[in-house]
Amino acid sequence: MKILITAGPTREYLDPIRFLSNRSSGKMGFAIAKAAAEKGHSVTLISGPVTLDTPPNVKRIDIDSAREMLAAVQQELPEQEVLIMTAAVSDFRPRIMTHHKLKKATMPAVIEFRKNPDILKTVQPEKGNRIFVGFAAETDNIFLEATRKLNEKGLDMIVANDITQSDAGFGMDTNRVTLIYPDKEPEHLPLMSKVDLGVKLIEIIEAMREEPQPIG
């Protein structure tokens, strides 16, 4: 399969030095990319700023902002059969980005934000027979929130992380997730390494690909 994976955070700059971002390390997305490449799939990895090495046989595209990630996804998607969005995309960006360092004296006391585009929703019209997988990092009503995102974004599966647990979610080497589908019962997976979860998710996606596809 040709698999497109996004990983890591985005950065939304206020000036050349300061930005809005989040705690994603990229480990989950890189683990999936490694597992997919080791199984012989053709893997493209679009990554926000992280400190991880690119797994062997993976094409990597580095981006900073959510809008750059969207442009890279739009550029690459036509060639792909699967899109896996593990990236923690910033939903907002500062309304104004200055190209010079803001000085204390002129720094605004209140920063205005604009909404970023939703990447999965934007590329939804291009889905066709492609498999789209999303991730959700939640603290409350995990199942309800993840199911809402599954439906709103038209996904084939969403991987819900409970980030209130100290051994799962952002930055950890392990994760504990629930797989939620539009048409079957959720699957609760035990605590496992992100590497093993990457292998498991690729096996699940391979099985989905073998199922008969609707025409569209």
Instruction: Give contact residues for ligand PMT (rule: CB under 6 A).
Output: 8, 24-28, 66, 85-89, 91, 116, 118-120, 134-137, 149, 153, 161, 169-171
* Minimum CB distance to ligand PMT, residue 146 (Å): 8
The number of beta carbons lying within 10 Å of the beta carbon of residue 79 is 10
Q: Residues 130, 147: contact at Cβ < 8 Å?
A: no
CB of 138 to ligand PMT, least distance (A): 7
Q: Cβ of 59: how many Cβ atoms within 10 Å? A: 14
Q: Token digits for 48?
A: 């926000």
Angle between helices 27-38 and 194-210 in degrees, nearest 10: 50
Q: Which is nearer to ligand PMT, 57 or 174 (CB)?
A: 174
Closest CB 166 distance from ligand PMT, rounded Å: 13
Q: Based on CB atoms, which residue is closest to ligand PMT, 101 or 188? A: 188
Question: Cβ of residue 42: shortest distance to ligand PMT, in angstroms?
Answer: 21
Closest CB to ligand PMT among residues 102, 118? 118
Contact call for residues 90 and 22 (beta carbons, < 8 A): yes
Tell me the C-alpha to C-alpha distance, in Å, between residue 126 and each of 74, 119, 122, 129, 213: 9, 12, 9, 9, 15
Rounded CA separation 12/213 (Å): 38
- For ligand PMT, give the closer residue by CB, 107 or 152: 152
Catalytic: 151?
no
Q: Could you give the residue numbers annotated as active site? A: 22
